[in-house]
Amino acid sequence: MQTDIYYLRKAIEISHESRKQGNHPFGACLVNADGDIVITSGNTYSTDLGIGHAELNVARQAAVLLPADQLLACTLVTSVEPCCMCAGGTYWAGIGSLVFGLTEKRLAELTGNNPENLTMDLPCHTVFDAGQRKVNVRGPYPELEQDIIAAHKDFW
């Protein structure tokens, strides 16, 4: 098992690749109980529009790939705090833990009122707190803020 920072750096790499491929600069991965990265995804705006979020892509793949007990031991790692849709996807997929780098509030300062990403003001803690099952959340990681923001430079 590596540190959260290690996996967040992977998610940041994916966010850069995602942007290069014509999508929004977000990246996510799923880490299993052994510390292996078993699923990765960038944003897929170019094909899926507003619901092509990286975390939801990972959660959907995870839910069909892994049994429930393994999902509970997995961690979804994402460069930016998940929106309510992706926090919901993490919850409904049955993933046990979530790690994020940058807060949704900070993201909103970057995206402004860009119609392609009308960032909400609904922290993932609020979404998870409404559930019947606990999801362990770790983040933000301010030491990675500049690296995460670099992927968004002059994008929105």
What does the binding site for Zn ion look like in residue numbers (CB under 5 A)?
Answer: 53, 83, 85-86
Closer to Zn ion by Cβ: residue 78 or 97: 78
- Tell the smallest beta-carbon distance from residue 111 to Zn ion (Å): 12
Angle (nearest 5°) at CA 68 between 26 and 3 = 45
Considering the complex, what minimum distance in angstroms separates the CB of residue 118 from Zn ion?
Answer: 12
In sequence order, which ranges of 77-123 are alpha helices (DSSP H)?
Answer: 84-93, 104-111
- Which lies closer to Zn ion via its Cβ, residue 5 or residue 118? 118
Q: How many CB atoms lie within 10 A of CB 22?
A: 11
Nearer to Zn ion, 86 or 127 (CB): 86
**C-alpha torsion 118→124→127→129, nearest 10:** -160
Helices 84-93 and 54-65 cross at an angle (nearest 10°) of 10
Burial (0-12, 13-18, 19+ Cβ within 10 Å), 68:
exposed
CB of 53 to Zn ion, least distance (A): 3
Which of 70, 108 has the CB closer to Zn ion?
108
Least distance from Zn ion to the Cβ atom of residue 151, Å: 16
